[in-house]
Amino acid sequence: MITLTDDAGKEVALSAPAARIVSLVPSVTETLFALGIKERIAGRTRYCDRPVDEVNVVPTVGGTKNPDLKAIAALKPDLILVNTEENRPEDVAALREIAPVYEDFARKVDDGPGLIRALGRLTGTEEKAEVMARTIEMEIAAIKELAARYGRKRRAAYFIWKDPWMSINRDTYIHDALELAGMENVYGDREERYPETNFEELTERAPEVIYLSSEPYPFELKHRNEFLDHEEIPAARMGRVYLVDGTYFCWYGVRQIEALRWIRATILG
């Protein structure tokens, strides 16, 4: 018997390692492939698009916010993987009537290794999971050591949406990734997790660096140019407005290895 408690405080019990898994979390789906169990992934969302050369063999069961519950039930899963933020509470409740559900809610970079170890237990891939988790922990330690040498943190703004412009506060995984990279999130004190803002407020908060994410809003060069036109903002005046791969700042699991190495080489290099 495999028994553990998920991030929602629910006990998850399996009689044997999961053999038919439905994953409704893109970063988790990618991690399952990395654990070498692609043949056990019975279903995924249409947003589960990595690894790009392998994932298309897995049937889709709707999106993260509108999963096809009937299609999921028809797959007869023995484990369903969800995320507190990406999936709706009412869908998660309905999924618990279909099969055992493991709900994760990683809000800090350090949470990633724990999730990977949990996936290892649920799927009987503990050894591979442990290697992956330890690799991430070593990368985190290396970044912390490197960031400590910089001393003063650079003020940064990270944008996830346009119309309206939206950023992130301190209670987010993205904020923690910025902090790890030696950045001070200029919107960290806002009450909303994803605060709306404008150029007037951005000018007042005076970021020295601005990051425009590739997801959930797909920022492009034209949006970067829009920010660069506002030379009253330090980051724009210095040309420090960057388009970045959103998966490096909000995907956890195996993606963290590549992301942390990118942060170490590009932001702190």
Over the stretch 127-154, which tens digit does the pLDDT of each residue have? 999 999 999 999 999 999 999 888 788 9
Structural domain includes residue 163: yes
Structural domain includes residue 30: yes
Structural domain includes residue 187: yes
Q: What is the pLDDT of residue 64?
A: 97
Residues 262 and 160 in one domain: yes
Structural domain includes residue 250: yes
Residues 164 and 243 in one domain: yes
Structural domain includes residue 51: yes
Question: Locate tokens 């023995």: which residue?
Answer: 78
Q: How far apart are CA 53 and CA 9, in angstroms?
A: 35
> Residue range 73-92: average pLDDT?
98
Residues 180 and 257 in one domain: yes
| Peptide bond just before 207 cis, omega within 30 deg | no
Q: What is the pLDDT of residue 269?
A: 72
Helix (H) or strand (E) holding 183, with range, is strand 183-185
Q: How far apart are CA 235 and CA 44, in angstroms?
A: 39
> Residue range 235-255: average pLDDT?
97
Nearest Cα residue to 155 out of 245, 84, 240 = 240
Q: How far apart are CA 227 and CA 184, in angstroms?
A: 19
Residues 66 and 169 in one domain: no
Residues 158 and 263 in one domain: yes
Which of residues 81, 105, 129 is at a domain's end? 105
Over the stretch 151-191, which tens digit does the pLDDT of each residue have? 788 999 999 999 999 999 999 999 999 999 999 999 999 99
Structural domain includes residue 22: yes
pLDDT band at 253 (very low <50, low <70, confident <90, very high): very high
> Residue range 262-268: average pLDDT?
93
Contacts of 15 (CB under 8 A, 6+ apart): 1, 2
Q: What is the pLDDT of residue 43?
A: 99
- Host domain of residue 53: 2-105
Q: How far apart are CA 67 and CA 73, in angstroms?
A: 11
If one counts the domains in the chain, the total is 2
Question: Locate tokens 């040309």: which residue?
Answer: 239
Q: How far apart are CA 235 and CA 107, in angstroms?
A: 27
Q: Which residues pair with 259 in a beta bridge?
A: none
Q: What is the pLDDT of residue 215?
A: 95
Q: Report the CATH number at residue 216.
A: 3.40.50.1980
Cβ–Cβ under 8 Å, residues 233 and 202: yes
Contacts of 25 (CB under 8 A, 6+ apart): 45, 48, 64, 81, 82, 83, 86, 87, 104
Contacts of 60 (CB under 8 A, 6+ apart): 43, 44, 45, 46, 48
Residues 96 and 197 in one domain: no
Residues 227 and 160 in one domain: yes
Question: Locate tokens 């439905």: which residue?
Answer: 22
Residues 9 and 84 in one domain: yes
Q: What is the pLDDT of residue 152?
A: 81
Over the stretch 26-77, which tens digit does the pLDDT of each residue have? 999 999 999 999 999 999 999 999 999 999 999 999 999 999 999 999 999 9
Which of residues 105, 133, 165 is at a domain's end? 105
Residues 101 and 169 in one domain: no
Q: What is the pLDDT of residue 39?
A: 98
Over the stretch 102-136, which tens digit does the pLDDT of each residue have? 999 999 999 999 999 999 999 999 999 999 999 99
Q: Count of H helices and E strands in the chain? A: 11, 12
Structural domain includes residue 117: no
pTM for the model: 0.95
Residues 101 and 158 in one domain: no
Over the stretch 224-240, which tens digit does the pLDDT of each residue have? 999 999 999 999 999 99
Q: What is the pLDDT of residue 238?
A: 97
Structural domain includes residue 235: yes
Which of residues 45, 76, 105 is at a domain's end? 105
